[in-house]
Amino acid sequence: MKETIHILYTNDLHSYFDHWSRVATFVKSRRDDAESRGEFHMTVDIGDHMDRVHPLTEATLGRANVDLLNALSYNVATLGNNEGITLAHEGLYHLYDEADFHVVCSNLECVWSDTPSWLEMHHIEDTPSGLRIGFIGLTARFNPYYHLLGWNVTEVFQAVERELGAMRDKADIFVLLSHVGIYLDEQIAGKFSALDVIIGGHTHHLLREGEIVGETILTAAGKQCYYAGEVTLVYDHDAQMVVEKAAQAVPVEDLPRDLETEELLEKLNLDARGVLDEVLCTLDTPIETNWFKETPFMRKFTEQLRLWTDADIGMLNAGLLVEPFEAGPVTYGDVHRICPHPINPVVVPLTGEQVMHVVESALSKELVGLKLRGFGFRGEVVGRLVFANLHVETYFDEDGVERVKEVLFDEMPLEPTRTYRLATGDMFSFGRLMPEIANAEEKQLFLPEFVRKILVHTLMDW
């Protein structure tokens, strides 16, 4: 006897709710198709469903995302770094308390307290015929963040090996829900032939028809649910093995919106207004925003960061503020809309020579005008770099290029070998934006606070 299994999936929604009701249409129609043929189906999510860039997620700290997954009757989910490291310990600890689905993350450990009741190392789902589908989940390993929040993320290969061993005689099909990225997915597939399917995420890769690596089919649906996916497996009960594997990621933009989901989103957004409409302060005059020049408010904001972190020097990019503040009452929703980034403060020790390189890099038109995507930044362009407690004098050369003329700390030139503590947003601690910061051996992160907490203090003192 042969049995067909359908696994519907989403990954990396990042709270882009504009697509969610179309995803609901996709899920419901594919379920109806499977049921009309008497075939078993499941629905899973691969993490980063939430992103605190969206006011609904911010106001509910991700609980609205869980409500949406519940409403669509998801069966299993794993978590991404947006669930894992953008919430305080208690926020993640209780995030899935009301989940009607299984949460599987095989490489996540709770350090500060007992394991939360929802966290499973693996899950086995039985079909009506008795076929057993085993699920493993992985999340990306950002331990400098997780450790400060009371969690630990273990090595992915060890976690997969352990859970495959634990399910060896208990499951017939093995599925990995992987929020670690395509490169690790391919390595895992090459190492563990027992895995039938890897449904991926994190690196926002799109595999429209799936990719075969060894005995495993890999699939993923990009980001923000422009696509949703389906895996189809055919299991031969006589041969006791999967004999057919297929996967596809399908665009949802042209699908109709699901009315029930639209109504739920409207209700959730209405409920969130109580948090977002809280007045934090009142401004007598507007505050201008300019991404390409230093403003008095950005200087104050950067100085507040320096003082709050007890650093020698502060540095923030003007692109953090995506629009101006109007005069009058300022609500929490206003602050979130104008500074939506899940960016944490960080302090790194740099030599005077390295600080000089950072200042020189900060003048680059390429960096100032960079339309950055990722690293927590949710704005349009990086913008002008603004410094606090550091006097930077520049000039324009004959080609119109801005150059550094003089840099003073405490009215004295930087000492090349002296160490200075520089505070900034952790977006600069990744990638190649600022190599001196990204490659620093020591980084003091401040969690769970985002830079907008310091923005609120700046507004109150303005």
Q: Among residues 243, 272, 301, which one ends one of the domains?
A: 272
Whether 294 and 264 map to the same domain: the answer is no
pLDDT value of position 164: 98
pLDDT at position 375: 78
Shared domain check, 327 and 208: no
Tokens (6 digits) for 359: 């200042």
* Rounded CA separation 462/460 (Å): 6
Whole-structure pTM value: 0.93
- Per the structure, the count of domains in the chain is 2
| 237 and 339 belong to one structural domain | no
Domain interval for residue 77: 2-272
Whether residue 337 is found in the same domain as residue 253: no
- What pLDDT is recorded for position 397? 87
All residues at 6 or more sequence positions from 48 whose CB lies less than 8 Å from its CB, including other chains: 11, 12, 13, 14, 80, 81, 82, 83, 179, 201, 202
Identify whether residues 86 and 231 lie together within a single domain.
Answer: yes
pLDDT of residue 373: 79
Please state whether the peptide bond connecting residue 448 to the residue before it is cis, i.e. omega within 30 degrees of 0. Answer: yes
Distance CA 82, CA 95 (A): 12
36-40 average pLDDT score: 98
Q: What does the pLDDT look like over 65-86, one tens digit per residue?
A: 999 999 999 999 999 999 999 9
CATH number at residue 74: 3.60.21.10
- The one-character DSSP state at 90 is H
Q: End-to-end alpha-carbon separation of the chain, Å?
A: 73
What lies within 8 Å, CB to CB, of 168 at 6+ separation is none
Q: What is the pLDDT of residues 179-221, one digit of tens each?
A: 999 999 999 999 999 999 999 999 999 999 999 999 999 999 9
Taking only the tens place, the pLDDT of each residue in 368-406 is 998 987 778 888 999 999 999 999 998 888 888 888 889
Q: What are phi and psi of 77, to 5 degrees?
A: -145, 150
* 314 and 262 inside one domain: no
Q: What is the CATH number of the domain that holds 434?
A: 3.90.780.10
What are the Cα distances from residue 173, in Å, to 42, 126, 196?
13, 10, 6
Among 252, 272, 292, residue at a domain's last position: 272
The answer on 391 and 264 residing in a single domain is: no
2-10 and 279-283 strand pairing: unpaired
Q: Are residues 134 and 238 in the same domain?
A: yes
- Boundary residue ending a domain (213, 241, 272): 272
Q: Count Cβ atoms below 10 Å from residue 67 Cβ, excluding itself.
A: 19
Residues 400 and 448 in one domain: yes
Considering the domain architecture, whether residues 227 and 312 belong to the same structural domain is answered as no
62 close to 93: Cβ distance less than 8 angstroms: no
Contact 440, 350 (CB under 8 A): yes
Instruction: Assess whether 257 and 340 both reside in one domain.
Output: no
β-pairing verdict for 241-251 and 151-153: unpaired
Residue 26 shares a structural domain with residue 90: yes
